Amino acid sequence: MRPLTYVAVDTAAIKHNLSQVRGLLQPATALMAVVKANGYGHGLVLAARACAEAGAEWLGVSLVEEGIALRQAGLTLPVLVFLPFPAEQAEALVEHDLCATVVSERQLTALARAGEAAGRPARCQLFLDSGLGRPGVGENLARLVELAAGFPQLRLEGVYTHLDAEVSAAGSLLEVVRPGTELRLFAATARSLAARAGGQGLLVHAAASASVLLRPDTHLDLVRVGTLLYGQYPGAVPPSRRPLELRSTLELRSTILAVDQLPPGATVGYGAEYRCPRPTRVALLPVGYAVGLGVLPESLARRRHQGWKGCLRRWLRPEQEAPTIGGRPVPLLGRIAMDWCCLDVTDLPEAEVGTEVVLPVRRLMMDSALERVEV
């Protein structure tokens, strides 16, 4: 039985979007599908499986626990864990064949010892910060590459950085004179260090979704793509640089539980902040801010407020899309409660108990406990 409220995930759309991104890449450039944060709200395993079936060569997550969940679900693609790991998680990284991000000698040593104890390879990549203030290997890059070569069960698979898409388009003076120069130097340096230490086949990567579109010179050996796979363009990408035909991949859906007829002047929701201006059919949905809907009444958000209070209200919650029934917009009435909200269905006589409603919601704010249903 399908739940009253659920997240509908279009895995065919995810596969389509991945194919669109793939068309921008050179054949030698691999694609890492980023499935962190519960697959951007789509469900970790559901999103990862769709990307694997569409041909992604790698999967990217933030936490060791996410990587373990992918392995327990039967996914066998290489998985890179982005965030630096505490030493006590080294054994789990090795046990589940996850590739760790290493930023210190202490991490590298802990991972190598875990690999030796288990008698199996411990996989890792080194992270070099490029201006975001994140922990990175910094000037220790050469030292860590050399150290990694001395551990028989440690497999150094790559060196990577993460570009700030909002500033990387401009770059330094060197980049202006010859675009891509600094990244080519970065890649050449990393490969040279690995070759001198006896390593080979090192992946060098820097580009995420925005850079994939704005800076083809950043593609290197691999690109890490997240938001594009889920039908959204990064905010740093101007409309003129959006060539892909992306498809929407997710909807929050709920079901009308009750419909009531209220007279003019009746109030709806906590605080009596909405008063019906006419005879109004009000539909009740079993979904509220506990799963990611806002708390400001949509009926108030649509008004044009004056003065500083109105500016503050618009800043806290800008106008957003309305819920829809059969593709037609339906106003939210009154303040959204924790687990219910009301809709004005006066102009939709076909809206009855059991009718399905599509609700606008911030994807990453959605409760992870909501069931994800493949559609």
Measured distance CA(215)–CA(185) in Å, rounded: 16
Nearest-angstrom CA–CA distance, 104 and 126: 9
DSSP 28-56: T-EEEEE-HHHHHTT-HHHHHHHHHHTT-
Going by C-alpha positions, the residue among 129, 147, 125, 154 that lies closest to residue 139 is 129
Q: How far apart are CA 221 and CA 206, in angstroms?
A: 9
User: Using DSSP, how many helices (H) and how many strands (E) does the chain show?
Assistant: 13, 20
- Tell me how far apart the alpha carbons of residues 315 and 294 are, in angstroms, rounded to a whole number: 13
Helix (H, G, I), strand (E, B) or coil at 168: helix
d(CA 233, CA 20): 13
Active site residues: 36, 270
Round to whole Å and give the CA distance between 6 and 370.
6
DSSP bridge partners of 125: 101, 158
Rg (CA), the chain: 25
How many Å apart are CA 282 and CA 299, to the nearest integer?
Answer: 13
